[in-house]
Chains A and B, each alone.
Chain A
Amino acid sequence: MTDAAHATLDCDVVVVGTGPGGATAAHVLTRAGRSVIMLEKGRNHLLALDAPFGPLGHVSNDEIKFTRRHFLGPDPLLEPRTFRIDDGDGDRRWTGDVNNLPSTVGGGGFHADGKLPRFREVDFRARSELGPIEGADIADWPFGYDELEPYYTEAERLVGVAGDHTANPFAAWRSGPYPMPPGPDMFCATVTAAAAERLGYHPYRAPTGVNSIEYDGRPACNNCGFCAFYGCPIEAKGDPVGLLRAALHTGHCEIRPDAHVTEVVLDATGRQARGVRYLDAAGDLHEVTASAVVVACGAFETPRLLTRSGIGNPDIVGRFLMYHLQTLVLGLFPFRLHAHRGRAVTHLMDDPIVPDELAMAAARDAGLPYFRGGIVEHGGAGMPIMEAMHLPSGEMHSRLMLDSPMRDCMAAFTMQGEDLPQATNRIDDDPRVRDVWGRPAGRVTYSPHAHDAACATHWAPRLEAVMKEAGAHTTFWVTSPPLRDHLRAGADPTPTSRHVMGTTRMGTDARITVCDPTQRCWDVDNVLVADSSVFPTSTGYGPTLTIVATALRAATLLAGGDAPRTTP
């Protein structure tokens, strides 16, 4: 682009979405001197958009606002999504909330409780190291852990991660310790972690994007307990506020909330983007011109925006949708665990990710070459309204709320089981249901691979044994999405996981992927995708830190920076 042409642009880069990926890209680009306009579909509850960019005071310990009234959006009445298991369900089986991540300034980072583990070396080359599994399309990532390590280190520094780098025996190598020590252990996790150790597992103190000391001008967490599904009233969580505030402080960044991007606008060749169009809160259409577009709408909306814009191979965009198959193992204890205090989860264990002999034998019995389980989060139950909604009405309700077996006396393991990529799992447009803008609602077609179900079925009883060892008098387990037997019993088939990945896969072969190894779209190379859409595999770890690390890498390369190198 000529200097004259560049001078007429509204900004150097327009970023669509203000979640962890978009915020990271904005931070990198503004730090490099680029001008950035960020467009966010949702409202701004996070920070003032004028200097000094302080908190707005909208965030609070309020279960009704955050879990019952769609405060962070999207409201399913305005933006319904539909779900079906497969074509056998017809056009849809369910309409409403389907994996809704917040659509607000800060995106998914706003509500996350901030467990931020890294992936392991093998996660980036599962295909070449572990081999294929029938019915799945396991792929290597187009770069390895060694290349990403410096960006993981930078991500942990930018977000502010508290953790113990010596604690996890299965962890990948790292070039240094965490920026902060871990925060206080939750009582419930000390009980279950000790039991896990007695049974030979390896729990460790979770790396968490929550301040344990004052950091980056934000205070230490004061343990209020309103973490998962809530924002932090005192900004002890660094993601996403730290990155966005840093970008704003450069003077090169503008955030426009209530700006719903309708399309990426291409030039006459169809090979270059010249900006985006968006609707403002009043419904008026605007265009922002830029020399590059960063799409960071999350793995549900990013493929829909690319499709609407005619970007990417339409046979591939939206496919390989992945969640985590969540196995919830619950233990009811004869004493109160007060898991509503603290930062939701303070301990993890990776044992199901690194299969032992028992797991390998179970995999062989299931006709599989191996198992890839997931991280196990040692946590507790939710808040009282959530508890109450799961109880029967009548006297049983009042008795159970007083005794609280399902909240104050309950510990919970959540295994975030790896979801193998399948081309049939996808996001496309519903043929009839519409959103408030009159466009087709997004539709999920999804069924977990037999591997995921077999792995959950193997690990659930083993985790129940840990609960019993810890002192639980009653244990039970469920999965989300439900396994086939539960489906037949009428369970809701919609996965509740908010870990959504893989719908604009990156890779080295333009015929079967949407993005190249630098996360740019193969066919429109000034459009870069900076969210979990690009993940070729889901791994068994939460995606957020890897979203930030990969966005750091992609935005650094877009800005013309050199790739840093680190050593153990």
Chain B
Amino acid sequence: MPRFLTDSEHRTLAAACDRLIPPLDAHPGAAALGVADYVDTLLAAFTFDPPRIFAGGPYSGRAGGDASFDDFLALSPLEELAWRTRIEGSRGEPAREFNGPVVGWQQRYRDGLGGLGADFADQPPGEQDRRLDADPAFKALCYEHACEGAYGAPEYGGNRGLAGWTAIHFAGDVQPRGYTDEAVSGRD
């Protein structure tokens, strides 16, 4: 259940990101990796307490140690100002507009997904690509976040089932186990 996006927007975003990072052979593609959930979590970061901006540490528990990535860190007042501005936009607030108005990601996604059309997910690949190419700035934003959601730590909402890392032969976070000296120096 998305927190910021509507169900329709979420479906459109998943389809759009799947054109940017499509399934291929062992690669599951962006939709299966939960990239739309990653973006929705980012856009709704301030509906969580603490905001889901900086995951905790030092370990996820996947390679030993206590799992603490899910214990997101509290933001400082200045960090909150920066991330609210980046996500929500400046909204006319002087504290956020010391260099002028800022259009936030929430608005950019709302506008960009609207531009793709509510029927985007049902279009053939060629038509989907044409619509994505019509708004290069929005396509670039989606791609940036799709890369993060596909290959980042799953605590941020994407990389579902670690399938992004598995597909590319990457172990992800490995502390506190690390790698043996032989694994560092030897050929696989």
Contact = CB atoms under 8 A, between A and B. Distances in A.
Given A78-B81, A336-B188, A436-B78, A394 B22 contact: yes
Contact of B25 (A258, A397, A402, A408): A402
A398 B22 contact: yes
A250 B170 CA distance: 43
Contacts of B81: 78, 436
B88 interface: no
A435 B98 CA distance: 7
B24 A404 contact: no
A434 B177 contact: no
Contact of A233 (B26, B59, B79, B181): B59
B151 A385 contact: yes
Interface stretch (A65-73, A128-136, A147-155, A419-427): A65-73
Contacts of A234: 58, 175-176
A335 B168 CA distance: 14
A413 B60 CA distance: 32
Interface stretch (B4-12, B68-76, B105-113, B114-122): B68-76
Interface in A188-206: 190
B58 A186 contact: no
A278 B96 CA distance: 22
Interface in A59-113: 59-65, 68-71, 75, 77-78, 80
Instruction: Categorize the interface residue count of chain A.
Output: 35 or more
A75 B102 CA distance: 15
B92 interface: no
A557 interface: no
A223 B168 contact: no
A384 interface: yes
Interface residues of B, number: 65
Contact of B73 (A58, A184, A185): A58
A31 interface: no
A433 B99 contact: yes
Nearest to A60: B57
Contacts of B68: 57
A166 interface: no
A118 B147 CA distance: 38
B58 A336 contact: no
Contacts of A277: none
Interface string B50-65: 0001111111100000
Contact of B55 (A62, A184, A338, A393): A62
A78 B78 contact: yes
B73 A61 contact: no
B147 A341 contact: no
16 contacts: A58-B56, A60-B60, A61-B60, A63-B151, A68-B152, A77-B85, A183-B181, A186-B185, A187-B184, A224-B175, A233-B59, A388-B147, A398-B23, A404-B169, A408-B168, A436-B78
Interface of A: 43, 55, 57-65, 68-71, 75, 77-78, 80, 183-187, 190, 221-226, 233-234, 258, 281-282, 335-336, 338, 340-342, 383-385, 387-389, 393-395, 397-399, 401-402, 404, 408, 433-436, 438
Interface of B: 19-27, 29, 53-60, 68-69, 73, 76-79, 81-82, 85-86, 98-99, 102, 129, 139, 143-144, 147-148, 150-153, 156, 164-165, 167-170, 172-181, 183-188
